[in-house]
Amino acid sequence: MSRGRLFLLGGIAVFLLLLYLLFGNTGLRHSWKENYDQASREPYGTNVLFSLLDQFIPGGEAVVVLKDSLNDRLSQHSTPKASYVFTGAGMYMTSRDRDALLNFVSEGNQAFISCNTIPHDLMFYLYLEECNTPWDGYHYFNDTTVALNLEHPDLKMSEAPQYRYFNNYRPENYVWKYMGSEYFCDQDKQRTILGDIAFDSTRTYINFARVKHGAGYFYLHTTPLAFTNYHLVRKEGLEYARRVFSHLPEGQVYWDEYSRVPESVTRLANQRASGGMPELNQESPLKYILSQPALAWAWYLLLGTGLLYLLFRAKRRQQVVPVTEPNTNTSLEFVQTIGQLYFMQNNHRKLALQKIRLFNGYIRERYNLSRREGDESFFSRLAARSEVPEPLIRDIFSMEESIKSAYALGTDKLIAFHRLMEQFYKLCK
C-alpha cells in the first residue's frame, strides 16, 4: 500500500471517529457539582425545592430572591412572621448582612439555614456557651450513605430516608456534617434538637436544631444535599423536606442566593479539614470541560483536527538547514597585530604594557582576582588558585611595576619579562 493511500485512510478513520463522537453518543450529560442554584436543574441544584417552597410554606406571596446585600432587603421588611431560607455548601456574610439577619429574626421572623459550614461570627451571637463548651464548628464523618429523620413524634418518619452521594451516577465518599452533642445540655434553654443523621443503626448525630434569638428562631440544618434536585425527586426525600419546612410558619419567604460560597471553595476546605489533599482529577479544568456538552465537543474537535494536522503535516519533507560558520574570536589576532606593530617600531615599553593588560585580564577572568595596592594576600591567593609558586608571581608583578614606572624599556628586560609570563602560563592550572 502506498504512503499516500495510508494517509488518506487514516484521515477517513479520524473523520468517522469525530462523526461518532458528535452524533453517535447522544446520552444526557450532567454536571455533578453542588451548585445549589435555584435555577439549576442539575442533580445538585435546588430548582425543585425553590419551585415547591410556596407549597411547603404557604404565604400567598411569591418567593423573593435575594441577589444582593441582605441589609438592603431584610432591613426594609415589615410583614410579620416571614421566613429567610438559605441552602448551600457554604455561607459567607458581611457584618452588615449578619446584623440585618439577626435583627430580622429578633423581630419575630424565622431563618432556615442548611449548609455544610456556617459563619463563626454568626454563631457567636447564637451560641453563648451555656454548656461551657466553646463553639468550634460542625463535626464530620466520611461515608457514602446516611439516613435522616426528625425528632418530633408527629414528624418522625417510620422509615428514615436514605441519602447517598453520587458523582456521575457512581457512589463516592462524602463529608457529612453534624452538630456535636456537647453543644446541647440541660442548662441550655435556647436550643432544641429537631433531627438527626445516622450512617448505621447504632450511631446517630444531630443535624437539625432550633436556636431562639429574640422573638424568632434560627433553624440550622447541616445536610443541604437532602434538598437538592436529585433527592427531592424521590418520594421519601420529598416527604422529608416537607416535614422539615413544616417548622416554618406561613408568610413571606426570602430565598438567599447572595450569601452562597462556591462549592469548589467549600470542598477544598472539607478536604483540608479531613486531612486529605484535594483530588485534582475531580476538580480539574478538563473534568469541567468534559462535563459541559458544548465544551466537550469543542475539545474533541480540537483533538481530532490536531491529529489530522499531524497526519498530513508528516508528509512534508524537512528543508535543508543552511550551514552557518561558527563565530570566531578575532581579539587575539588583533593583539598579535598590535604587538608586531610595536615590535617593528622598537617601542618595547608599549609592547610590555599591552602584555601586562592581557595578563591582568587573564587573571581576572580565570581566577576572579584583581590586585589592589597594598594587598599582600593577593599573591598567596593567586598562587593557591593557579598552583604557580608565589615567588614567580611576585617577580612578575615586581617587574610589572618597574615597567610602568620606566620611561623606556630595553630588549633584554622585555625578553626577561616575556619569559616570566610564559613560565606562569605553562605552570598555571
Domain range list for the chain: 47-291, 331-427
Q: Rounded distance, CA 392 to CA 424, Å?
A: 7
113 pLDDT higher than 50: yes
Give the residue from 198, 194, 138, 195 showing the smallest Cα distance to 162: 198
Total length of the chain: 429
> What is the DSSP pairing of strand 145-150 with strand 191-198?
antiparallel
**For residue 415, what is its C-alpha cell?**
625578553
Q: Rounded distance, CA 342 to CA 326, Å?
A: 31
Q: Which neighbouring-strand residues pair with 209?
A: 193, 220
- The whole-chain average pLDDT of the chain stands at 81
What integer pLDDT is reported at residue 4 of this predicted model? Answer: 60
Q: Rounded distance, CA 406 to CA 384, Å?
A: 30
Among 3.30.43, 1.10.3470, 3.10.450, 3.40.50, name the CATH number for the domain at 47-291.
Answer: 3.40.50
**For residue 356, what is its C-alpha cell?**
601586562
DSSP state of 190: S
280 pLDDT higher than 60: no
Of the candidate ranges 113-117, 235-239, 334-338, 364-368, the one whose mean pLDDT is the lowest: 334-338
Q: Which neighbouring-strand residues pair with 198?
A: 147, 204
Q: Which neighbouring-strand residues pair with 208?
A: 195, 221
Mean local confidence (pLDDT), 318-322: 65
76 pLDDT higher than 90: no
With cut-offs at 50, 70 and 90, classify the pLDDT of residue 115: very high
Q: Please indicate, yes or no, whether the overall pTM of this predicted structure exceeds 0.75.
A: no
How many helices (H) does the chain have, and how many strands (E)? 16, 14
